[in-house]
Structure 1
């Protein structure tokens, strides 16, 4: 499928642990286009160990990368964003614009937990709601704390947290435990976005098209399109994404997607 949108990709060169240089960025961009992606929200790390990454610098680098993509005839649109480590001063940074929301629309914030643990997100989600923003939790299926307490996912989704699962997890790139959790979340309608979290053309490659194909096998084309195109496109355009779980069920042939509360 074409028309895919990736809202989590470390495509900017030389700013974090993602693409090392422009050559790597261009290689990742070409891979993404081959996978059917037409828009990427670039998400360098902010806060935590990457406190030095500032909003205006990310905006400038994103515009420079777009110019390079155009110069190299790569049909890909890039928008500014960030993979934001949850810190006490995160809300203030979002309000000032120094910490970036996805697409720089001040509507959706990509939230990163420490990989090795989980801590309650309700205060963070409530703080974002007070300033008119929604939290998108990045790669919950790879967080050690949530892998050990998978029952927490449903309550977080019920509380309005949007879930972004890594494309590579769904196709087995992060091991059987993360794959099993990603598949379980898919079957229970607890995913809002599939995104690549791409870091390199060789290591953690962008694989959104492969994940789309796997999602079709698991839950049908409607759900796969929602997670890989419709919801991420809404984020990229600054529109609302409906929170809460969706209801998926298995009819006589394959899986179909129904709105929450469908019979």
Structure 2
């Protein structure tokens, strides 16, 4: 049996960004998440970039309100506050002050979002975060166009201590063949630390993770799949250190390496 899943990246707060439109949408997403085996979700509306109006205190209040709504409807899902943070000027200072949210508001890990169309060096950002004992988690690197054109960027970042979060839907082909191929190669090489839904609604980009978990088992083995979908996110939401570096993989079946070698 698969473990209970913890999702650290989900746009379930209603009416605050491009995720859930209203409370009914949030409830439908929550029901889908529970059906998938998710028992804890970090709600992560966008902050900074085009969403500078989203403030930390507002997200905290809305997360509590959503938890109360789920409880009133008997939906057994724990909700914690967080944010999908666009790398921007003043980001580190706002994380330290709490104006911009870390994962589960623990000030230990932060979801870092690059512009989708390009890659920009992350080392200065990671160094600045390190000085405040905050670890960066790069969200959906397999969907970033700059990284897709240069996947060799990933391994040095992992060796540097940057954590990687792959989108569950990428492993199912929901973001195209190139994103799926890179996500699979990252899993095969142990260059992953989290699988998250990055869900935005109940009809499209839904909070689905079970199929991605099974694919991770095939590509990297049960222990790695459990770590990426359950134990690592479980550590993050409690503010504990997540093992960095390359994950040991024991694939359930052989996988090809041609894409990675060619692209690198």
TM-score after normalising by structure 1: 0.94
Q: 1:197 is paired with a residue of what secondary structure?
A: coil
Contact 1:10 1:197 (C-alpha < 8 Å) held by counterparts:
yes
Matched with 1:220 is 221
Map 1:1-263 to 2 at 5 A: 1-250=2-251, 254=253
Structure 1 residue runs without a partner (length 5+): 256-263
CA displacement 1:164-203 (0-9 Å, x = unmatched): 0000001111111000000000000000000000001011
Aligned residue-pair number? 253
Q: 1:151 is paired with a residue of what secondary structure?
A: helix
Contact 2:42 2:81 (C-alpha < 8 Å) held by counterparts:
yes
Cα shift at 1:247:
2.5
Cα shift at 1:218:
1.6
Q: 2:99 is paired with a residue of what secondary structure?
A: coil
Structure 2 residue runs without a partner (length 5+): 255-264
CA displacement 1:1-28 (0-9 Å, x = unmatched): 2410000000000000000000000000
| RMSD after superposition | 1.0
Matched with 1:258 is none
Q: Segments of 4+ in structure 1 off by > 4 A?
A: none
Deviates more, 1:217-226 or 1:90-99: 217-226
Output the CA distance in 1 between the equivalents of 2:3 and 2:175.
Answer: 25
CA displacement 1:26-49 (0-9 Å, x = unmatched): 000000000000000000000010
Cα shift at 1:238:
0.8
TM-score after normalising by structure 2: 0.94
